[in-house]
């Protein structure tokens, strides 16, 4: 699949038709989830009907409409890289879903987190969800406003460098500029010093490390290479 095309096309969807996803598409997505779980020791699950946590009067009222299916982002509580891994794997699933024509949105706050459908096993931590489904034409009231007021930071605001940066680095930063982030804060910073690339985030907000995993994935896909796990870790091309 063409990840770069999906990066260009992806946008958070907050209005869905409220119906299930095709069998074939679903199997592509669950394969991707299974791969991520195996590779990173996570327990992300697909929830066919999580509407209960979204469509009642409450935190998500006016912001989300017609939510049905969710990807429940969770894994071992004692994994110090849990949030970063969830960001990385979840965003890969999102890009796959985008290429299949589905809408998605990372959601950390605006839903009923305490709903029993999110109960976890002993030693597990539930971090956030991804809404996923068929996009409805008409946008939700607040979703519409959020999409309209969204202003990405300038490319130069995403990195520092001690020298001229290569084209592949700029390609990576361009892809990071299009990445989703909690509250659209776009806090993940890249550096290019002595020809070494690093990515870091302040880790002052509960979803900063999820944003780190998302940003690293976007950078890798466009620049070609991979980061090691951790805040301020190195990139290998
Ligand atoms: C970890 C994380 C948590 C998020 N939580 C919420 C949320 O609770 N409610 C919401 O409407 N959007 C949420 N978002 C979506 C962001 O608001 C959205 O990605 C950002 O505004 C950029 O817009 P875009 O995804 O359309 O490019 C979240 C995004 C991330 C990465």
Q: pLDDT tens for residues 208-217?
A: 999 999 999 9
* Ligand 1 neighbour 150 (Cβ under 6 A): yes
Give CA 25 to chain center in angstroms.
19
Instruction: Give the model's pLDDT for residue 142.
Output: 67
Cα 112 to averaged position of ligand 1 atoms, centre (Å): 16
Give 88's pLDDT tier (boundaries 50, 70, 90).
very high
Q: What is the pLDDT of residues 174-189, one digit of tens each?
A: 999 999 999 999 999 9
* Ligand 1 neighbour 67 (Cβ under 6 A): no
Give CA 56 to chain center in angstroms.
24
Yes or no: say if 86 and 73 are a contact pair by the CB < 8 Å rule: yes
DSSP string, the chain: --HHHHHHH--B--BB------HHHHHHHHHHHHHHHHHHT---EEES--GGGTSSSSTTTTT-BS--EEEEEEEETT-TTHHHHHHHHHHHHHHHHHHTT-EEEEESSSS-TT-GGG---TTEEEEEEEEEEPBPSSPPHHHHHHHHH--PPPGGGGEEESSPPPHHHHHHHHHHHTS--GGG----EEEEETTEEEEE----STTHHHHHHHHHHHHHHHH-SEEPSSTTEEEE-
Instruction: Give the model's pLDDT for residue 40.
Output: 98
Residue of 58, 107, 142, 145 with the most ligand 1 atoms within 8 Å of its CB, for mutation:
107
Q: Residue 195 pLDDT > 70, yes or no? A: yes
Token reading at 5: 């095309």
Q: Residue 59 pLDDT > 70, yes or no? A: no
Instruction: Give the model's pLDDT for residue 139.
Output: 65
Residue 210 CA: nearest ligand 1 atom is 1
Of the listed ranges 51-55, 192-196, 226-230, the one predicted with least confidence? 51-55
pLDDT, greater one: 89 or 144: 89
Superfamily grouping for domain 150-236: putative nitroreductase (tm1586), domain 2 (3.40.109.30)
Domains of the chain, residue spans: 3-144, 150-236
Which residue is closest in CA terms to ligand 1's atom 21? Answer: 184
Instruction: Give the model's pLDDT for residue 55.
Output: 75
Instruction: Give the model's pLDDT for residue 127.
Output: 98
* Ligand 1 neighbour 106 (Cβ under 6 A): yes
Cα 164 to averaged position of ligand 1 atoms, centre (Å): 32
What global pTM score does this model have?
A: 0.96
Residue of 86, 93, 129, 181 with the most ligand 1 atoms within 8 Å of its CB, for mutation:
181
pLDDT, greater one: 150 or 115: 115
* Ligand 1 neighbour 70 (Cβ under 6 A): no
pLDDT, greater one: 236 or 110: 236
Which residue bears the tokens 């589905």? 102
Cα 194 to averaged position of ligand 1 atoms, centre (Å): 34
Of the listed ranges 34-48, 141-155, 160-174, the one predicted with least confidence? 141-155
Q: Mean pLDDT over residues 127-135, rounded?
A: 98
Strand partners, 227: 235
Task: State the Cα–Cα distance between residues 67 and 141, nearest whole angstrom.
Answer: 14
Instruction: Give the model's pLDDT for residue 151.
Output: 79
Residue 110 CA: nearest ligand 1 atom is 8
Superfamily grouping for domain 3-144: NADH Oxidase (3.40.109.10)
Strand partners, 189: 200
Strand partners, 72: 45, 129
Q: Are both 3-144 and 150-236 of the same fold? A: yes
């Amino acid at each position: 699949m063409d990840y770069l095309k999906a990066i260009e096309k992806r946008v958070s969807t907050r209005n869905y038709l409220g119906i299930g996803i095709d069998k074939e598409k679903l199997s592509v997505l669950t394969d991707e989830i299974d791969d991520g779980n195996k590779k990173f020791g996570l327990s992300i699950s697909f929830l066919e009907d999580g509407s209960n946590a979204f469509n009642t009067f409450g935190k998500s009222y006016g912001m989300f409409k017609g939510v049905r299916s969710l990807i429940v982002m969770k894994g071992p509580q004692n994994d110090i890289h849990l949030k970063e891994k969830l960001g990385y794997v979840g965003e890969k699933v999102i890009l796959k879903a985008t290429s299949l024509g589905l809408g998605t949105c990372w959601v950390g706050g605006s839903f009923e987190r305490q709903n029993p459908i999110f109960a976890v096993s002993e030693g597990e931590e539930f971090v956030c969800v991804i809404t996923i489904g068929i996009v409805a034409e008409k946008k939700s009231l607040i979703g519409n406003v959020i999409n309209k007021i969204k202003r990405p930071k300038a490319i130069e605001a995403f990195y520092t460098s001690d020298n001229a940066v290569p084209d592949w680095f700029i390609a990576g930063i361009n892809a990071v500029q299009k990445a989703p982030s909690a509250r659209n804060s776009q806090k993940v910073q890249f550096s290019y010093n002595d020809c070494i690339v690093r990515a870091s985030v302040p880790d002052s907000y509960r979803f900063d490390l999820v944003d780190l995993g998302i940003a690293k994935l976007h950078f890798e896909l466009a620049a070609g290479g991979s980061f090691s796990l951790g805040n301020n870790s190195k990139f290998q091309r």
